[in-house]
Chains A and B, each alone.
Chain A
Amino acid sequence: MNNNWLEENTFHYSDFKDLNRLVEEKAKKNLKISLCLPTLNEEKTIAKEIIILKSELMTRYPLLDEIIVVDSGSTDKTTEIARAYGADVYLATEILPRLEQFKGKGENLWKALYITKGDIIIYLDADIKNIHHRFAYGLLGPLLLNDHIKFVKAFYDRPIAIGKNKMRPTGGGRVTELVIRPLFSLFFPDLTQLIQPLSGEYAGFREVFERIPFPIGYGVETSMNMDIYEKWGLEVMAQVDLDRRIHRNQDTKALGRMAFTILRTFINRKIRLGLIDLKDELFDEMIQYNLVNNKYQPNIFKIEDHERPPIIEIPEYREKFKIDQERLRNLQEA
């Protein structure tokens, strides 16, 4: 296990508070930066995210070149509000319409790669109640100030303090501690150093995101961690403490379904990497039980297992970003 990683590649957002320095670095490297907010019925939080990020990181400090919302078909006023506050709003179904349509957060993130023009893409969940611009500049800092870092993940709440006399309890949510961390401990001990591998906020260079597949649902974060680790190693990854995030509390059954998806994503990755061999196919239904009139009744959720290929393999994408076959080959070989 790479023991130095945690110390060397873990940051605190306050390390990047000097926004002028980030703006200078961005200009020096001639980079464009896009912020993507995937949404589904987020009318209560979307406006605040757009306003604060636009105010602080577009109007006051020109760090973001665009804020885009990719919506999965909200039935509330999410898209109207987002438009009213100046975000570029897209319906996921209208992006790359030639392809089969799926619905899920991973789908939105993947399609955002086609829509955005940034060299760096920041993904933030749209349900952050205590949104602050540190959520974006904290993720950008390591990418702009360290040439070897290509992907940064957020962690929250219980910041890990590195160094003497600065130990504090750390950890993720229930699914992280009960599902992901045991799996990583068993198969990828290096990745246990990610304090919250399932956090929904991360940023990275396009050259990374365009070359990894995206599961369309909850599994997207798990697969992203594993794929980037497998392809480029832990050294290109970093994590940043964003202090505190207030989010929706999910009930145990909802978390169970999330765990199901993540487990399946994990196992499929292991099979694809040739690390394990299953004699049978995995089932695609999560079965939970409810007590109704003193009888247990099964509640069956069919959870689709679709995954988008690396978007660089999509001809429309290559055409838009002017990637010819030779460059594609070079990238794949690299």
Chain B
Amino acid sequence: MDKFLTQLPGLVDEIKSLKEIIITNIVLIGQTPAPTFKEKKRSKIFRERLAEFQVDEVTTDGYRNPIGIVRGADSSKPPIFVLAHLDTFYEGDQILNYTIKENTITGAGILDNSIGVGVIASLPLIFKKLDLQFESDIVLAGTIQSLGKGNLRGVRHLLKTWPTPIRGGICVEGIELGRLNYYSDGMIRGEIACSISDERNLLTDYTPNAIIILNEVINEIMNLKTSQRPRSRIVIGKMTGGANHGKIAPEANLGFEIRSDSYKIVKKLYGEIRDVVEGMSHENEVDLNIKTISNLRASRLKYNHPLVKHSAAVIEALGIKPVSRPTESALSIFLSHKIPAVTLGITYGENRYFENATMEIEPMYQGIAQIIGVLKAIDSGVCDEQQLA
């Protein structure tokens, strides 16, 4: 493996020689809209691209996650998974138009996660170009229904129903190059909806305002105590409501997220928010409901797990400083199934959640070399002996 690490920087130029094909994959897949729950078109083009690059098998699992399999040399070795989520936060279903400049590609959803999906679709060709063979089968997957209300259903189903043990996994995200996620926070995302019945206008002189009610809910949430250890926090991330400037808002919605490295704390905080909601609902005589949109249990690899150590070495061998933070991605599903896995970023970018999201092209080749390095590490057995914490 050490020898391979020294060869890794040399692979970057070879990968770059396929730049037109890699960029084409990113653009053709990325321009195909894929809002969560409507990933069918993008799934089809992902499968088509994999088939064109002659992977040994292209299929979908029982949940319609598209999958390509590159067969390994040793059928006794469990497969290694490389996956990226297919769906985008961008909800439009019109064809997206990406703009390519000398060193950038710009367009909605490019960073989250057209790069990841496009790069995975390119891997079979890159394996051929670099003359790489693996002992394990490499399963290349684009998972559906990951974001928001999707609640990682695609990857949950994929891993739960896979018929064999899984040797290890790599989750591919567009940005940032250098990220090395090997632990995930516990998390609950919830929504609080307030609606004021029309009858209130007739029965009382005072009509409550849904936005102001939610504002009071926010104030109460801000008064909740979040602990430093275990680390925990509540993010008020989204608010919608009202009809127009001069009308008392009849409806409003609040989106929030609770995170902690202890899922017990997450649940405790959620319970406290639910109490706030119930109390406010009684006091103000309004419909105030709370519901969970998605949740994750906290899970982690130890920092000295061989996969973490080797992944860090791969990133450093490419001259990049690894950065570790918690993540709320498919990684947590791998870890909850006791499958060693890491999340890696491909390149740098900006405006992630906007229509002018922009990725840098040049660092991407290092990002891809890094995936090859970590794949090789897993294939050489770094995940085989150590059990998860």
Residue numbers of A with Cβ under 8 A of B are 43-45, 47-48, 51-52, 54-56, 59-60, 77, 80-81, 84-86, 129-130, 132, 244, 246
A56 neighbours in B (Cβ, 8 Å): 24
Give the shortest distance, in Å, between A231 (CB) and chain B (any CB): 38
A48 CA / B23 CA spacing, docked (Å): 9
A60 neighbours in B (Cβ, 8 Å): 21, 52
Residue numbers of B with Cβ under 8 A of A are 18-21, 23-24, 27-28, 31, 52, 95, 97-102
Give the shortest distance, in Å, between B267 (CB) and chain A (any CB): 47
A52 CA / B105 CA spacing, docked (Å): 13
Closest B residue to A54 by beta carbon equals B20
Give the shortest distance, in Å, between B137 (CB) and chain A (any CB): 25
Give the shortest distance, in Å, between A30 (CB) and chain B (any CB): 26
A56 CA / B101 CA spacing, docked (Å): 19
Closest A residue to B106 by beta carbon equals A44
Complex partner residue of B23 from A43, A55, A129, A130, CB under 8 angstroms: A55
State whether B101 touches A43 (Cβ < 8 A): yes
Q: A56-B24, A246-B97 are in contact. List 16 more A-B contacts (CB 8 A).
A: A43-B101, A45-B99, A47-B101, A48-B100, A51-B24, A51-B27, A55-B21, A55-B24, A59-B18, A59-B20, A59-B21, A60-B52, A80-B102, A129-B97, A132-B28, A244-B95
Give the shortest distance, in Å, between B307 (CB) and chain A (any CB): 33
A59 neighbours in B (Cβ, 8 Å): 18, 20-21
A74 CA / B102 CA spacing, docked (Å): 16
Give the shortest distance, in Å, between B240 (CB) and chain A (any CB): 30
A80 CA / B102 CA spacing, docked (Å): 8
A97 CA / B124 CA spacing, docked (Å): 48
**Which of the listed residues B95, B98, B100 has the most CB atoms from chain A within 10 Å of its own CB?**
B100
A286 CA / B27 CA spacing, docked (Å): 41
Closest B residue to A60 by beta carbon equals B21
A81 CA / B105 CA spacing, docked (Å): 13
A219 CA / B19 CA spacing, docked (Å): 38
A81 neighbours in B (Cβ, 8 Å): 101-102
Give the shortest distance, in Å, between A81 (CB) and chain B (any CB): 6
Give the shortest distance, in Å, between B97 (CB) and chain A (any CB): 4
A246 neighbours in B (Cβ, 8 Å): 95, 97
Complex partner residue of A51 from B23, B52, B97, CB under 8 angstroms: B23
- Contacts known (A54-B20, A55-B23); A44 close to B99, Cβ less than 8 A: yes
State whether A48 touches B102 (Cβ < 8 A): no
Give the shortest distance, in Å, between B339 (CB) and chain A (any CB): 34
B24 neighbours in A (Cβ, 8 Å): 51-52, 55-56
State whether B102 touches A84 (Cβ < 8 A): yes
Closest B residue to A44 by beta carbon equals B99
A43 neighbours in B (Cβ, 8 Å): 101
B52 neighbours in A (Cβ, 8 Å): 60
A104 CA / B203 CA spacing, docked (Å): 73
Give the shortest distance, in Å, between A65 (CB) and chain B (any CB): 16
A44 CA / B31 CA spacing, docked (Å): 15
State whether A48 touches B21 (Cβ < 8 A): no
A56 CA / B98 CA spacing, docked (Å): 18
B18 neighbours in A (Cβ, 8 Å): 59
A80 CA / B21 CA spacing, docked (Å): 21
State whether A48 touches B28 (Cβ < 8 A): no
Closest A residue to B100 by beta carbon equals A47
A129 CA / B106 CA spacing, docked (Å): 13
B101 neighbours in A (Cβ, 8 Å): 43, 47, 77, 81
Closest A residue to B52 by beta carbon equals A60
A48 neighbours in B (Cβ, 8 Å): 27, 98-100
A52 CA / B101 CA spacing, docked (Å): 13
A280 CA / B304 CA spacing, docked (Å): 91
A52 neighbours in B (Cβ, 8 Å): 20, 24, 27-28
Give the shortest distance, in Å, between B218 (CB) and chain A (any CB): 42
Give the shortest distance, in Å, between A283 (CB) and chain B (any CB): 40
A77 CA / B101 CA spacing, docked (Å): 9
Complex partner residue of B20 from A51, A77, A80, CB under 8 angstroms: A51
State whether A130 touches B20 (Cβ < 8 A): no
A54 CA / B21 CA spacing, docked (Å): 8
A325 CA / B27 CA spacing, docked (Å): 49
State whether A130 touches B99 (Cβ < 8 A): no
Closest A residue to B22 by beta carbon equals A55
A223 CA / B67 CA spacing, docked (Å): 50
State whether A77 touches B99 (Cβ < 8 A): no
Give the shortest distance, in Å, between B31 (CB) and chain A (any CB): 7
Give the shortest distance, in Å, between A317 (CB) and chain B (any CB): 32
A129 CA / B100 CA spacing, docked (Å): 11
B21 neighbours in A (Cβ, 8 Å): 55, 59-60
Chosen A-B contacts, 11 in total, with CB atoms closer than 8 Å, are: A47-B100, A48-B99, A51-B27, A54-B20, A55-B20, A55-B21, A56-B24, A59-B18, A85-B20, A129-B97, A244-B95
Give the shortest distance, in Å, between A295 (CB) and chain B (any CB): 39
Closest A residue to B125 by beta carbon equals A60
State whether B95 touches A130 (Cβ < 8 A): yes
A55 neighbours in B (Cβ, 8 Å): 20-21, 23-24
A43 CA / B95 CA spacing, docked (Å): 20
Give the shortest distance, in Å, between A135 (CB) and chain B (any CB): 13
9 A-B pairs with least C-beta separation: A55-B20, A47-B100, A55-B24, A129-B97, A55-B21, A48-B100, A54-B20, A52-B24, A51-B20
Closest A residue to B17 by beta carbon equals A59
Closest A residue to B104 by beta carbon equals A47
Give the shortest distance, in Å, between A127 (CB) and chain B (any CB): 11
Complex partner residue of B102 from A77, A86, A132, CB under 8 angstroms: A77
B98 neighbours in A (Cβ, 8 Å): 48
State whether A51 touches B102 (Cβ < 8 A): no
Closest A residue to B94 by beta carbon equals A246
Complex partner residue of B31 from A47, A51, A84, A130, CB under 8 angstroms: A130
Give the shortest distance, in Å, between B100 (CB) and chain A (any CB): 4
A60 CA / B54 CA spacing, docked (Å): 12
A117 CA / B18 CA spacing, docked (Å): 26
